[in-house]
Amino acid sequence: MTRTLSELPADLAGKRALVRVDYNVPLDAGRVADATRIEASLPTLRWLLRRGARPVLLSHLGRPGGRPDPALSLSPVAPALAGLLGTEVLFSAPCDGEDALRASRELKTGQVLLVENTRFLPGETANDEALAGRLARLGDFFVNDAFGTLHRAHASTTGVPAVLSPSAAGLLVERELEALSALERPRRPFVVAFGGAKIGDKIELLRRFLERADLILVGGAMANTFLRAQGFETGASLVEEAALDLARSILSAGEDRIRLPTDVMVLDRAGGEGERAGKVEGVENVDSVPADAIGPGMAALDIGPASRARYADALRGCAAFFWNGPMGLFEDPRFAPGTFAIAQAAAEATAAGAFTVIGGGDSAAAVRRAGLSDRVSHVCTGGGAALEYLSTGRLPGLDALTKRIAQTGPGG
């Protein structure tokens, strides 16, 4: 059982709360371009500040490879957080140095301290015990509110709670687990949509959902692999050749519960063959073709209009819905309609009473881009963590908190 904030000692006044947050945010010209992940951390930080705790924040940003990279510094996050939180946010670098330790000890009640990118140090991703010990000096207790990193066994996620007690999950993590756990015994009918590129990345989750989903809708490049596995020609489409046998076994196990696109949007790299009925007006070499009519030079990059309508219809009347992975190359406006159609259908299903969960990553980005984030039940802040939790029921970052409870007992 994972300890929550409400199970921490009652008197936190003056205590330093070492909080692992997920501020892996996009930067543009030295400014935060999208503050969604920062906003997600605010409830936990406000909870701590109201109780007089002094938050010290750990986070990574990007993949600097264990060495400092000015382009990936967390320093621009401090003013963005201060503006959102309405309090002073100090910054210190490096995250494990004496300056950071001194700043944590001198932090005044009502202030917040953000320290530099944990991945500037090679010991972070190696889960180095010595680094975990240095980071643990920054706090009197530990809170992990970085759901998107819980599947990583890093020094700041699993190393710190091994040496710093008490520890607890933050409010964001608590909300994420509550939403995902509801899919263990979902209301029915339960519909699942999978997209993205690789079957192999989601095989365990596919197998688990085959046991409980009433319908599985497949799109994205993943659909190309399933179509090839059925013997269809896929032209120049991206296909996971090594997963064809796996796709056949999933189709066999899924019987009639797996839906594949009946038509696709293609980019005809071989050039035009005259005007086809599905030609997209005003867009050169982009056509809608039946799934069994993909020519040698065609690359399928989105589900087609008939499939969009069919998939949207499948969501009508569902009681629960989970979606992970775009239906196509949605970053390109020519191949975004399939993904946006699923986002719209999810919003409409939610309005009709369904419990809908968007599984992070590109799906979450698509829902935000469509302006529908507040019209679905839950948008996960971490795709990888969501998939691992749904697949196995466990996460290294959660296990670290749970193990610490077992060792120390309630109250630390």
Q: Which entry of 196, 220, 361, 397 is annotated as an active-site residue? A: 361
Q: Which entry of 338, 360, 384, 397 is annotated as an active-site residue? A: 384
- For the stretch 255-313, pLDDT in tens is 789 999 999 999 987 654 433 444 554 445 788 999 999 999 899 999 999 999 999 99
- For the stretch 174-232, pLDDT in tens is 999 999 999 989 999 999 999 988 787 788 888 888 888 999 999 999 999 999 999 99
pLDDT for 284 equals 57
For 162, half-sphere exposure in the C-beta direction (CA atoms, 13 angstrom radius) is: 19
Residue 10: burial class (beta carbons within 10 Å; 0-12, 13-18, 19+): exposed
- For the stretch 315-346, pLDDT in tens is 998 999 999 999 999 999 999 999 999 999 99
Q: Which entry of 15, 137, 198, 257 is annotated as an active-site residue? A: 198
- For the stretch 339-396, pLDDT in tens is 999 999 999 999 999 999 999 788 998 999 999 999 999 999 888 899 889 888 899 9
Please say if 37 is a catalytic residue: yes
Average pLDDT value for the chain: 91
Please state the length of the chain.
412
Q: Check whether 412 has a pLDDT greater than 80.
A: no
pLDDT for 203 equals 80
- What would the mean pLDDT of 70-87 be, rounded to a whole number? 97
Residue 12 phi, psi dihedral angles, 5° rounding: -110, 0
Q: Which entry of 20, 37, 202, 404 is annotated as an active-site residue? A: 37
- What would the mean pLDDT of 109-124 be, rounded to a whole number? 98
- For the stretch 18-34, pLDDT in tens is 999 999 999 999 999 99
Model's pTM, two decimal places? 0.87
